[in-house]
Amino acid sequence: MKNDTVNLYTEIAEKSVATIKSVGQLNLRTFEALAAKQVEIVQNAADTGAQQSAILTDIKDINKAYSAQTELATSFADQLAKNVNEIADIFKVAQEEFNGLADEVVADAKVNAEKVTAISKNEIEKAVKAAKDKKVA
């Protein structure tokens, strides 16, 4: 039975390491996706700033300048809203994957607790029987 216990704890340790690696990979993928979105947002803001500067320097008619700035602001706001929705999707996917990992860990913990209980019960029964056998002898 000692081998069963050692094997069980080895299996638990291996699964724990695998889970930790999975969480680390999930965190890395999520970070990379968020960093890419951040770069996209900053690039869009820089492009919008350059376009705004061009509007203010190139267009001499105030009505045309106002109209161009309004279009630019609307376009920037639309793109920003799209990026925010994409960021929400990134978090949603990460949360779903994390929940899946957590469900696996809980299921494994339940199975392992049952295995530990069975092994412990068996060891206790053996110890009680051995004690009774010594008492009888």
pLDDT digits (tens, 9 = 90+) for 59-104: 888 898 899 999 999 999 999 999 999 999 999 999 999 999 999 9
How far is residue 42 from each of residues 1, 52, 92, 99, measured CA to CA in Å?
A: 61, 15, 23, 31
Q: Taking the domains of the chain in order of start, what are their residue ranges?
A: 2-131
**Within a 10 A sphere around the Cβ of 4, how many other Cβ atoms?**
13
Distance between alpha carbon 114 and the CA centroid of its chain, in Å?
A: 29
What digits encode the pLDDT tens for the residues 45-61? 999 999 999 988 888 88
- Tokens 């639309």, residue? 78
